[in-house]
Each structure stands twice: as C-alpha cells, then as structure tokens.
C-alpha cells in the first residue's frame, strides 16, 4: 500500500472515529483540508503526515478504549453513508463492539438502558448528541397531548361559543393520551425484557427465557404475553436475575393500570357496541365516548409512578435512568 493510500485510509479512520465519538465538527475542516492538499506535499512531508495521523488514531483509540479494528469503524461509516437518513447503534452494540469508555461522549452513559439507540448522520456528519429511547419519546408525546387536553378543557370552561370545537378536540386528545400511555408502558416493559434477555441469556431458565422473548420453545413459535402479565411479571424476572427483589402487590399504580386503566385502553383498542352481560351496560362505548380529563391524568400519573417504582426497586436513580420523567415540557 502506498503512502497516499495509507493517508487516505487513516483519514477515513479518523472520520469514522470522530463521527462515532460525536466530535467530527471540531476536526472535520482540518481533515478536509488535509485531503485537499496532501498530494502536493513532498514525500518526506507525506510520511510525516502519515505518522501524525497514525498517532492521532492511536490516541483517540486509547482515550475511548476502542475495541474494534480500524476497519470496522470505516465499514460502519461507509454503510451509514450509503443509506438515506440517519443511522442508529444500540448502547449494547457500542459497549460490546466499539468502545469501553463511551461515557466520555455521554456523561449519563452508565445509566442509559442497553436497548437505547445513539443517533448518527453520516450525510451531514453533524455531532448529534441524541439518544433515542422509544419509551421516552412516547412519554413526551403524552405530555404534549395532555397539555393540548388542558388547553381545550380550559376553552370549554371559559368560552361558551368555542365549547363544541373544544369538546371535540378534548375527546380526541384524551383518547390519544390513554392509548399512548399504554404504548409507553409496553415500550418500557419490552425494553426491560430485551435488556435482560440480551445481558443474562445464559442465566435464564427456559420459562423466563420464553416469557421475556415472547416465545414458545416447545412449539418453536411466537407466544405473545398479555399486558398484565408483563406489568407484574417482567420486573420480577429482571430483578431476580440481578439478585434483587421486587414486590408489586402493594403498588397502587400497577393495579390501577391493570384494572381501570386497562379497561379504558381495551375499549379504545377494541371498541365494541356489545353490552357487558355482567353489568348490563355498553361499557366499552361508555369509555370511548365519556373519557374525561381527570381519568386521563390519573392513568398518566399511574404510569409515571409505576416506572419510578420499578427503577427505584432496581436500585437505579430514575432521574438518571429515566430522565424524561422529570423534564419540563418543552425542554
């Protein structure tokens, strides 16, 4: 390989490392200038440049405790450049395949869940300081919808001529709030299951293995787990494998979600005009048409309390592991 080829390869390695380590913008102009000018250098100057680039790569690798070979970083960059839009790498992948000290990039890194995705843009090479946690995104959706609900509710109280429009909007927001709360809780629970499954796969007995993976090993096919079973069982399995204990029997938030909350959610997810034979009422229709702000807020608060309870029980700091629970709207 010629000196020119080695310089180009070193530049590609540095571009990949800086992108992955969220520091490309501090070095991109310099690297581009080197690309544009180094061919005019003398042979000795090119050799000196190559030594400098090799040392720079070595220093970066040491600081971030790089795990992979240089070629893997270049391959990741090349793959990301071929696809449209942004790219995503999980914390689990970064920790196990790329870097041992990624807390140099994100201070909160030790508290971030393994399933969380770090976002990259190989088109703009922008240093996106953004970690995608689906449950966090859904939680923020709920906060926005609740704010809209309160705005519409205030319109009903204060402006009689706007009441019909606000009433219609209010019901739209409230229905979406409740369904999104359950999407949020399911995303949170499935994240717990995924992380436990990936980290402790070899320590799980077959029953817990299948529970967390929603799988039937005997029949070799998918076996979906009911929501309430996830709600009460997933945290217990995760706690057990981490040598902790969790008791949800007295968790009011869990029981509210499993009963009143789930009844509203089921009515919205599976709407029906049939009469409940036990109550003699069109109960699902009542929930679809009669949901109110107070009930939606109670379900939302129960979801917040449930997640905080679980994180506390695991010995985590919820403000670090689930910071979106505490962020102010619009932050």
- 263-277 pLDDT, tens digit per residue, is 999 999 988 887 777
Averaged pLDDT for residues 162-182? 87
Query: Residue 86 domain-assigned?
Result: yes
Interval 74-97: pLDDT, tens? 999 999 999 889 999 999 999 999
Confidence label for 158 from pLDDT (cuts 50, 70 and 90): low
Mean pLDDT confidence for 161-175: 80
> What pLDDT score was predicted for residue 276?
75
Among residues 114, 18, 93, 91, the alpha carbon closest in space to that of 61 is found at 18
Q: What does the DSSP assignment read for 51-103?
A: HHHHHHHHHHHHHHTB-S-HHHHHHHHHHHHHSSS-EEEEHHHIIIIIBS-GG
**pLDDT beyond 60 at 221:** yes
Tokens of 307: 């997640």
**In this structure, are residues 220 and 175 in contact, taking their beta carbons and an 8 Å threshold?**
no
**Residue 159 confidence class, pLDDT cut points 50, 70, 90:** low
**Whether 87 and 114 share a structural domain:** yes
- Contact between residue 167 and residue 160 where contact means Cβ atoms under 8 Å apart: no
Tokens of 147: 């704010």
Do 202 and 304 reside in the same domain of the chain? Answer: yes
For the residues 144-173, what does the mean pLDDT come to? 79
Same domain, 148 and 125: no
Residue 91 counted as domain residue: yes
Are 150 and 55 in a shared domain? no
Q: Do residues 93 and 8 share a domain?
A: yes
Residue 157's pLDDT is 60
Of 8 and 270, which is predicted with more confidence? 8
216 pLDDT more than 70: yes
CA 176 to CA 201: how far, in whole Å? 36
- Confidence (pLDDT) at 278: 80
pLDDT tens column, 279-319? 777 778 877 787 899 999 999 999 999 999 999 999 999 99
Domain closes at, from 83, 114, 132: 132
Q: What is the pLDDT of residue 19?
A: 98
Indicate if the pLDDT at residue 1 is higher than 70: yes
Q: Is the pLDDT of residue 255 over 60?
A: yes
Hey, is 222 helix, strand or coil? strand
pLDDT-above-90 percentage for the chain: 83
- How many domains would you assign to the chain? 2
Of 21-35, 156-170, 172-186, 307-321, the least confident = 156-170
Cα–Cα distance between 255 and 251 in angstroms, integer?
Answer: 7
Instruction: Specify whether 171 is located in the same domain as 233.
Output: yes
Order of all β-strands in the sheet with 117-120:
87-90, 117-120, 131-132
Q: Is residue 331 part of a domain?
A: no
Shared domain for 221 and 271, answered yes or no, is: yes
Record the pTM.
0.91
Residues 267 and 152 in one domain: yes
- Report whether pLDDT(324) > 80: yes
∠ CA 41-46-52, nearest 5°, is 130
Examine the domain organization and report whether 124 and 146 are in the same domain.
Answer: no
Are residues 112 and 206 located together in one domain of the fold? no
Average pLDDT, the chain: 93
For CA atoms 297, 302, 307, 313, give the dihedral sign: positive
Task: Mark whether 147 and 128 lie in a shared domain.
Answer: no
Residue numbers of the domain that contains 17: 3-132
Residue 34: inside a domain, yes or no? yes
Question: What are residue 74's phi and psi, to 5 degrees?
Answer: -65, -40
- 192 and 141 in a common domain: yes
* 171: in domain: yes
Give the mean model confidence (pLDDT) for residues 136-143. Answer: 96
Separation CA 79–CA 61 (nearest Å): 21
- Least-confidence region, from 8-12, 117-121, 169-173, 196-200: 169-173
Q: How far is CA 77 from the centre of its chain?
A: 22
240: CB partners within 8 A, 6+ apart: none
Q: Percent of the chain beyond pLDDT 70?
A: 96
In a domain, 330, yes or no: no
Question: Cα–Cα–Cα angle for 240, 245, 251, nearest 5°?
Answer: 120
Residue whose C-alpha is closest to residue 182's, from 118, 289, 261: 261
Report pLDDT for 313: 95
Choose one of 107, 132, 157: the last residue of a domain.
132
Domain boundary, last residue among 75, 105, 132: 132
């Amino acid at each position: 390989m010629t000196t020119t080829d080695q310089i180009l390869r070193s530049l590609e390695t540095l571009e990949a490392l800086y992108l992955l380590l969220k520091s490309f913008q501090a070095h991109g102009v310099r690297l581009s200038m080197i690309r544009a000018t180094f061919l005019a250098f003398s042979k000795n100057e090119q050799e000196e440049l190559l030594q400098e680039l090799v040392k720079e790569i070595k220093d970066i690798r040491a600081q971030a405790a790089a795990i992979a070979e240089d070629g893997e970083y270049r391959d990741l960059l090349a793959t990301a450049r071929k696809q449209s839009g942004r790219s995503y790498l999980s914390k689990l992948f970064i920790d196990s395949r790329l870097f041992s000290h990624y807390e140099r990039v994100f201070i909160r890194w030790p508290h971030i869940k393994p399933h969380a995705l770090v976002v990259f843009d190989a088109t703009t090479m922008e240093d996106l300081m953004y970690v995608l946690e689906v449950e966090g995104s859904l939680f923020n959706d709920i906060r926005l919808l609740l704010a809209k609900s309160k705005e519409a509710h205030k319109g009903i109280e204060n402006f009689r001529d706007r009441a019909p429009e606000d009433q219609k909007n209010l019901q739209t927001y409230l229905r979406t709030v409740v369904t999104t709360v359950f999407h949020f809780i399911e995303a949170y629970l499935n994240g717990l299951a995924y992380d436990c499954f990936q980290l402790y796969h070899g320590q799980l007995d077959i029953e817990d293995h299948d529970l967390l993976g929603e799988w039937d090993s005997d029949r070799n096919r998918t076996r979906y787990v009911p929501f309430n079973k996830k709600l009460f069982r997933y945290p217990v399995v995760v706690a057990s494998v981490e040598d902790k204990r969790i008791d949800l029997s007295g968790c009011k938030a869990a029981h509210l979600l499993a009963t009143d909350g789930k009844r509203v959610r089921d009515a919205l997810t599976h709407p029906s005009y049939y009469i409940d034979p036990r109550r003699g009422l069109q109960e699902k229709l009542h929930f679809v048409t009669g949901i109110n702000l107070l009930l939606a807020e109670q379900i939302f608060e129960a979801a917040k309390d449930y997640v905080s309870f679980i994180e506390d029980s695991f010995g985590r700091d919820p403000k670090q592991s689930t910071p979106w629970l505490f962020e102010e709207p619009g932050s």
